[in-house]
Amino acid sequence: GACKGGAVKGPTPPHEGRAFPCVRFLGDVREANLAVATLGMSPESLWLAWADWAIHLAGAPGKRTELALQLVQAMATLATTDHSAVGMVLGTQVPDPRFAAPAWQQQPYRHWAQAFLLWQEWWNQATRDVPGTEPHHAAVVSFVARQCLDMLAPSNQPWCNPEVLQATLQQGGANA
């Protein structure tokens, strides 16, 4: 048969031209296991998108300077502003529902929320409009960066979320 390296007899096999078509099964097994581990995302595609973005960002001194200035401005704003409208990204009027509860108005939670939103906005700017980057790759990098940042949001960390801490105290740690 075909897997023993011998000649295939009968109708033209689907893997014509390959000496050992059954070894393709190894690749299929790898792809199936990788799809389960990565929730169907191709690490190669993610790597390609990131490399395209990173290489073009490295070659764009104007964009890097702009990002550095935005970071300095955000840090200065964070240090000097009484963020009375917590949950608002500076420069926008769209509140972030994750930080809408009154508990987020107290320090240090208000500061943490605003710092996170500024950091999130900085990464949004960093992953967009990088000269030379393929638009699809920029969108992929921006999406992945946003997902990673959302995992780190203070609202998703029980020890940084005043709503979770209040519920824990009220229920003696029995909250789920």
Which residues of the chain register pLDDT less than 70? 1-19, 21, 81-94, 176
Q: How many Å separate Cα 22 from the centre of its chain? A: 37
Structure pTM? 0.72
**Dist. CA 63–CA 56, nearest whole Å:** 10
pLDDT score of 54: 98
**In the prediction, which pLDDT does 87 show?**
46
Contact predicate 100/81, CB 8 Å: no
Q: Could you tell me if 146 and 123 are in contact, meaning their C-beta atoms sit under 8 angstroms apart?
A: yes
Q: How far apart are CA 55 and CA 46, in angstroms?
A: 14
Three-class DSSP category at 1: coil
Are residues 118 and 90 in contact, defined by beta-carbon separation less than 8 angstroms?
A: yes
Q: What is the pLDDT of residue 1?
A: 47
